[in-house]
Homo-oligomer: A and B are copies of this chain.
Amino acid sequence: LSRLLQRLLSARRSLEICLFAFSSPQLGRAVQLLHRRGVRVRVVTDAQYMGLRGSQISLLRHAGIQVRHDQESGYMHHKFAIVDRRMVITGSLNWTTQAIQNNRENLLVMEDAEYVKPFVDEFERIWEQYNPVNYSFF
């Protein structure tokens, strides 16, 4: 957790977060701090999981952070973050206290453009796809 926080808090310009489940209070506070510092924070999450008890998503929204979610029956199952478009943090870890404290997990931190670019491209693709103007109500 401390090493993840350290990387996140190094953001100076932008932070993109794409997470299936986000309930860790410490990570939620770190993201809010970055937002208050003027870092451009954008969050994509899973529609089924964002409303569960303990989710940080409503707190982030109340803090004025932009959040978008999928509209699909399948899960938005990614678990990655992009710091200043130069570092990607990805792996098996959802940002939950259970995962951080009790699970066997992996987290990769990569700064090679070869690995960062596909995640940036995927984030921008998802961000547009999940734009509320594209919602279809039935």
Contact = CB atoms under 8 A, between A and B. Distances in A.
Interface of A: 20, 70, 72-80, 90-93, 98-99, 101-106, 108, 115, 118-119, 122, 126
Contact of A103 (B74, B93, B101): B74
Contacts of A91: 90
Contacts of A80: 92, 106
Contacts of A122: 106
A91 B93 CA distance: 10
A78 B90 contact: no
Contacts of A92: 20, 77-80, 90, 92
Contacts of A74: 98, 101-104
B106 A78 contact: yes
10 contacts: A72-B102, A74-B102, A75-B104, A76-B103, A76-B104, A80-B92, A90-B92, A92-B92, A104-B126, A106-B119
